[in-house]
Structures are given as structure tokens and as C-alpha cells.
Amino acid sequence: MSEDREVTIYDIARYLNVSAATVSRGLKNNPMISKNTRKKITEAAKTLGYQSNTFASSLRSRHTHTLGVLVPRLNSHFMSSVLAGMENAANRHGYNLIIAQSLEDVEKEKRNAATMFNKRVDGLLISLSYNTTDIHHLEPFFKRKIPVVFFDRIYPHEESTSVGINNYEAAYNITRHLAEQGCKRIMHLGGNLLRNVYQERLNGYRQALRDHHLPVSKKLYLTSTLSEQAGTEAARYILDLPPGERPDAVFSANDTAAVYCMLALKAAGLRIPDDIAFAGFNNDPISRVIEPNLTTMDYSGDSIGNTAATYLINHLKGISNLYTTDAITLRAEMVIRASSLKKKLRE
């Protein structure tokens, strides 16, 4: 047999002196074939270097047992946790993942979505990029009835569902906590309002201010990419304000911007939380490294990923119908640490 020719079930059949049908059933672990014969078939397949033609079989069955996953960035603790949860769910149910990142760019997101579609994924799990304004690039999935599940950063669509947390409630609770610590001028470092997570966090922050009769001021709200640089720039903005107009607390829509804002303010001589209290969002490892440790909102990326993938797979298996559920909301809990505890200092 030529070394560069692909080994087939017929080669295995000749090698074992059995029928090709027996080999085919044995490779599929069919109980009609005895355990001993199945073992011989498996061993012969390994010996001869047989590789299952999953693409051909997927064309026959119309299923690839592959899920596409589109994320904004791979280099975040939260997204790594999400992917770990998805991988666990996929492995349990015999599915594989194709993972791509948009790098927060809608054009790259569109190209990746097209690639996923052309790879014939059975379903798509997606968290939208920073600057995605619509989801026309997902229409091929909806038209072909390929299920789409949004997670974290979502876009409502009648033929999809989403998995995330109640961002409004979480932001409200953090802002209320800062107000209850005696903070009177609470600043919010927010993200792009195209994304539901940042719009909802802004809305929760504003409502908490109103409920506690605190000022809702444009000077106390900054929109940015929430990067390390954005946190440092926010600190410069705070330092440039007249002393009487400076915030006495900052609530950041992520931990990264909060921590780098804290570092820059500390370098300038401000004391935390004495002069200015801080709270972030995500409970990234960096929140426990900064001194003082950062108050933040904890929600499990692993749970979000596991839930999203499991729900999608159950839909593909006919166990559930994702079109009957608009959203799945998971639990989030505030983790109070020293960066926001002004009252403790006064007592």
C-alpha cells in the first residue's frame, strides 16, 4: 500500500479479514459488534494509521459536532474563564470548539463569523466587539437556522438567546455601597454604550445616585476603552479638576481601569480610600494584588461559558428550545474590600 494513500475502512477490513460494514460498525462502537472484535478493529486502525473522515461524515449527517466561539479578546481573565466553561461543556457532550477573537474590531468579527459559517459549525457562541453596531453579518446563521447564543455582550434578536448577569442591578448595588460609605461625588468610568453591559452599568449607577440624592454630573462620567492607559488617563483627568470638584469615589466598569487609575492617583499622593474610594467590576486577579485590595463585582465566567454552551448543545439535541427563552441571567455578588471602606476609617 502506498505510504501517501489515505487508509480506508476497506484496508482495515482486508487486514482483519472481515467485512467493511463490520469495520464501520466497530469504529462507531456499535453494540452489534462484539467487544473483542471492536477492540481488534480499533487496534488495527491505529496500526494502519486510519483517520476518520469527519468532514465527509458531517456532510452526510449535516452535523459537524463543532461550535464556533467568537470573543472580543482572549487575553482577559474573564474570557479565559468563559472559554474554560465552554470547553468543559463541549467535552462532556462530544463537541469541539473553533475559537476566534475580534480584537474589539467589527470588521474582524465579520470575517471570523463568515469563516465559522463556512466551516459549517452547528451553532455559534458570540460576545460582540467594542464597535459592533448591528448584527447583519450573523444573518446567514439565522437564515440557515444555525442557532446563535450571545454571552456577556449581547444584541437582542428574536431567533437567539443570551447568557449574562443583571448589569444594571450590579452597578446600582456598587454605587449604593459607595454612597452608604459617605461618598458624595461618585465618578463612573464607563465603556462604549453600544454594548449592553456598559449601558446597563451606567443606568444602574445613575439611578443609585438619584435614589441617594447625589449629583449626576457629566464631569463625573468618562467613556473609554477601559484599558490600562484609559485608567491612567482618568487619573490625570481627576487630578486636573479643581479640588472642590474632584470625586471622592470612583466606580469603574472593569477592574483594569480601576487599578491603573488607583496606581496613578497613589503616585500623585492621594490616599485610598481616605481621599478617594474605589470599586471595579469583574473580580479579576488584579483586584486582589493592588493595595488596598479592590472592591468589585464577582460573577463566574466559567458559569457563563458552561451555561451558554450547554444551552446551545441541548437545543441542538432537541432537549430544549433556545427560541423560547430571551435571556438567562446568572448570579453576581459584590466583593467588598478595603478600597471602598471609608466608614471603617472614621470609626
Domains assigned to the chain: 1-43 (1.10.260.40), 64-164+301-330 (3.40.50.2300), 167-299+334-346 (3.40.50.2300)
Question: How much is the pLDDT for 344?
Answer: 64
- One-letter amino acid identity for 67? L
Residue 161: phi and psi, rounded to 5, are -140, 175
- Residue 323, pLDDT score: 78
Q: How confident is the model at residue 52 (pLDDT cuts 50, 70, 90)?
A: low
Which of 29-33, 118-122, 180-184, 315-319 shows the lowest mean pLDDT across its residues?
29-33
Contact criterion met (CB below 8 Å) for 121 and 67: yes
pLDDT at 56: 54
For residue 30, what pLDDT is reported? 86
Q: Are 264 and 229 in contact (CB under 8 A)?
A: no
Q: Would you state the pLDDT for residue 63?
A: 77
pLDDT confidence of 2, banded at 50, 70, 90? very low
% of the chain surpassing 90 pLDDT: 77
Helix pair 20-27, 35-48: axis angle to 10 deg: 90
The pTM of the whole model exceeds 0.85: no
The pLDDT value given to residue 162: 95
pLDDT digits (tens, 9 = 90+) for 20-31: 889 988 888 888
* For residues 3-25, average pLDDT: 84
Question: CA 29 to CA 50: how far, in whole Å?
Answer: 16
Average pLDDT, the chain: 92
The residues that bridge with 162 in the sheet, in sequence order, are 150, 327
- 62 confidence band (pLDDT: 50, 70, 90): low
